[in-house]
Amino acid sequence: MHVAEPRSQAPPFTVLHAARNQGKRPMSAEDLWRFARVGAPAPSPDGSALIAPVTTYDIDENRGRTRLWRVPRAGEPVPLTAADSSATEPAYAPDGTRVLYCRCQADEKPQVHLLSLEGGEPERLTDMPLGAMDPRWFPDGNRIAFVTFLYADAPTPAGTKELAERRAKDPVKVHVTSDRIYRFWDRWLTGGELPHIFVLDLATRTLTDLTPQGAGWFDFMEPSGHYDIAPDGSEIALSANSSQPPHYLLRWAVFTVPTSGSGPVRCLTPEGTPENVSDALRPRYAPDGRSIVYGAQRDPFFYADRVRLMRYDRASGAHTTMTEAWDRSAGAWEFLADGSLAIEAEDRGRGALFHLAAGAPAPRLLEGKGTAGGLRVGQDGRLYFTLQTLSQPAEVASCLPDGGDLRSHTRFNESLLAELAMGEVREMIIEGAGGDPVQMYVTLPPDFDPKRQWPLVHVIHGGPHAISGDNFHFRWNPQFFAAQGYVVASVNFHGSTSWGQDFAACIQGGHGDKPYTDIMRATDVLVETGYIDPARMAVTGGSYGGYLVCWIAGQTDRFRCIVNHAGVFDLLAEYGSDVTQGRHQAYGGEPWDRLEAIDRWNPARFARGFTTPMLILHGERDYRVPHTQALAVYNIYQAKRVEARLVFFPDENHWVLKPRNSLVWNREVRDWLKRHLGQP
């Protein structure tokens, strides 16, 4: 990296990623589906190899499959599983001779399988009617644990299977509820499915349900990672939702349960726990078994409340805060053999790795370039993870616990990257709302010439409590937009995470205030460089980013066009969302007591200002931002006779996940920008 000298009227910038392969072909929408998507690695116990799940897509079949690859320390990757099925969540046996994983073919439910690395066919271990996931080995290698879902009205595998068959034949399809939470992302929660943790003895094939009443999770979309097995195998710690129907206030707590199946489930973090813990998450046993570390949030109405690490002493029952002095939010954490912790956390627009030594007041940054994820600790003492940037899709890497000896282990995307031209990526710090420093990534076209004037496209992230990161997004990909001849700005406005609690929380009750100012000032800064054409600028965004472009539409006409994906147009209509807990803090009040505060930042109340053409894209199965938001803003545009175009996907949710739908999405966005911004 180097720091460039500032041009006249332009602030300095840092070059994060140099332009690459200039003169080669630009990235296409099809390329985004040709990239291999590399998942979290599983290191072997002796450190001689790792297993990487790699997802590839077939556009003709309109689907993807995940295959497991064994990657030796020396040598080329070798596929472990067949190409005609999907295999995920690999876990090495303690002796390194076998691998657990979840496998499914076509549309069947995933089931846990066991594969010997000495040869032979995989053995199916489970036959759960609603599928099985998150398999884990017990330390002795004789038992495994996994998660499955069972119906509350028939909480056994046989009972759930029978009930599922009856429901499939029943001509009446109806959802009935008295709960506050009854939908989540793209599915209804009225079926009564609850997750259970099972233990399977591999020798006797005895199956034991440790949580016969269900574990109470509400996060049905991603239940993996919520439990851990004690070093002596006697106990499992899990995090689960502890609220009772009708779930007016969701709370997460840490529980323990004996693995013998004969003991009760015990709550370690009941309401009123010291340190005012509202949510307790992701328990992990220390190597000596004496304590459990978990994450804690204190504000149940702020989903981006900082996650502090807590230590629970199993002998005394004491809870101790470990990271109160650290103004970052832990995302994942794993123990090292010496009792220290490796941590994933966002930091300054990146996904970084940290190390927390025993007794240290705060974690120490290890790896802060790009975005690290899928952290695993190998028995060889190394940290294994995926690493990606704005110019490089994720590949597996590792480093020492002190951050040294960073190594790349896979190159599944090397040949495709060699075909594509990539633009330079810059980091700029601008003066945002209130004079605060605000970070922005700027991605340039591969053939960028600073003497020319280029069209500008803002890509505004969702959340709002999230980031535009130094990562390789497969839809909102700045390099893809830059390949079309646009300078792409990704602003981490006020409300973004990774700059501390205050910066994230400061927009509550004013969602359109400081972020709007930050986007406008970023635009001014880029225009002042001289290489942006102020007559050819666009704003794009999804979810909260869609909210912000709707807000921009009512406040200014400086942009030539707008792209709004799954955006919030009417704040009051968001009470039709799947999760409404915390809306009063986010919007400044409730509809029955502070309607004027909500209306102050409601884009629907400023429709008189809509003059900028808007492309509106949405999925009908989106329950987080209901699709009626798109229909409302589109209909208002049509009523005003302002140019608008609606792209509506009946089979998509908050995201566009099917390859062919994605190609349509990208084509519509590309054509819309070209129509209004012209040729670069």
Sign for the CA dihedral angle at 241, 244, 245, 249 comes to negative
Mean pLDDT rounded to a whole number for the chain: 94
- Superfamily classification of domain 2-26+448-677: Alpha/Beta hydrolase fold, catalytic domain (3.40.50.1820)
More confident: 610 or 247: 610
**Whole-angstrom distance, CA of residue 349 vs CA of residue 331:** 14
Band of pLDDT at residue 256, cut at 50, 70 and 90? very high
**Whole-angstrom distance, CA of residue 236 vs CA of residue 89:** 19
Of all residues in the chain, what percent carry a pLDDT higher than 90? Answer: 88
- Poorest-pLDDT segment among 230-234, 355-359, 623-627: 355-359
Band of pLDDT at residue 10, cut at 50, 70 and 90? low
Of all residues in the chain, what percent carry a pLDDT higher than 70? Answer: 96
pLDDT reading at 222 higher than 60: no
Q: What is the mean pLDDT of residues 6-14?
A: 64
Q: What is the mean pLDDT of residues 152-163?
A: 96
Q: What is the pLDDT of residues 516-531, one digit of tens each?
A: 999 999 999 999 999 9
**What is the three-class DSSP state of 164?**
helix
Residues 499, 508 contacting (CB under 8 angstroms) = no
Scan for tokens 């349960």, then name that residue: 257
Tokens read off for 22: 């200039």
pLDDT reading at 126 higher than 50: yes
pLDDT reading at 367 higher than 90: no
Structure letter (DSSP) for residue 20: B
Q: How far is CA 53 from CA 41, 266, 410, 414, 590, in A?
A: 7, 35, 11, 17, 45
Q: What's the pLDDT score for residue 130?
A: 96
Q: What's the pLDDT score for residue 320?
A: 93
**Whole-angstrom distance, CA of residue 555 vs CA of residue 606:** 8
Q: Residue 364: CB partners within 8 Å, gap ≥ 6?
A: 354, 355, 356, 357
Q: What is the mean pLDDT of residues 473-485?
A: 96
Q: For the stretch 299-332, what's the b/e string if a residue is b when 16 or more beta carbons lie within 10 angstroms of its beta carbon?
A: bbebebbbbbbbbbebeeeebeebbeebebbbbb
Tokens read off for 246: 């009708």
Q: Of 25-39, 216-230, 267-281, which one has max mean pLDDT?
A: 25-39
pLDDT reading at 437 higher than 90: yes
Q: For the stretch 361-383, what's the b/e string if a residue is b when 16 or more beta carbons lie within 10 angstroms of its beta carbon?
A: eebeebbbebbbbbbbbbebebb
Q: What's the pLDDT score for residue 120?
A: 87
pTM here is 0.94
Q: What's the pLDDT score for residue 251?
A: 87
Q: Using alpha carbons, select from 85, 25, 28 the residue that is nearest to residue 55.
A: 85
302: left (phi over 0), alpha (psi -120 to 50) or beta: beta
Q: What is the pLDDT of residues 266-309, one digit of tens each?
A: 999 876 555 567 899 999 999 999 999 999 999 999 999 999 99
**Whole-angstrom distance, CA of residue 265 vs CA of residue 328:** 32
Q: What is the pLDDT of residues 647-672, one digit of tens each?
A: 999 999 999 999 999 999 999 999 99
**Whole-angstrom distance, CA of residue 578 vs CA of residue 186:** 9
Q: What's the pLDDT score for residue 272?
A: 58
pLDDT reading at 88 higher than 60: yes
**Whole-angstrom distance, CA of residue 30 vs CA of residue 131:** 32
Q: What's the pLDDT score for residue 412?
A: 97
Q: How far is CA 442 from CA 352, 392, 479, 492, 522, in A?
A: 20, 16, 10, 11, 10
Q: Residue 607: CB partners within 8 Å, gap ≥ 6?
A: 554, 636, 640
In the chain, the amino acid numbered 35 is F
Residues 570, 629 contacting (CB under 8 angstroms) = yes
pLDDT reading at 3 higher than 50: no
Query: φ, ψ for residue 406 (rounded to 5)?
Result: -70, 125
Query: φ, ψ for residue 570 (rounded to 5)?
Result: -125, 115
Band of pLDDT at residue 75, cut at 50, 70 and 90? confident
Q: What's the pLDDT score for residue 224?
A: 78
Q: How far is CA 523 from CA 47, 207, 503, 673, in A?
A: 49, 60, 21, 17
Q: What's the pLDDT score for residue 215?
A: 64
Q: What's the pLDDT score for residue 278?
A: 83
Q: What is the pLDDT of residues 530-543, one digit of tens each?
A: 999 999 999 999 99
Q: What's the pLDDT score for residue 6?
A: 39
169: left (phi over 0), alpha (psi -120 to 50) or beta: alpha
Q: What's the pLDDT score for residue 219?
A: 42
**Whole-angstrom distance, CA of residue 204 vs CA of residue 144:** 12
In the chain, the amino acid numbered 657 is L
Q: What's the pLDDT score for residue 2?
A: 34
Q: What's the pLDDT score for residue 7?
A: 44
Q: What is the mean pLDDT of residues 596-600?
A: 95
Domain residue extents for the chain: 2-26+448-677
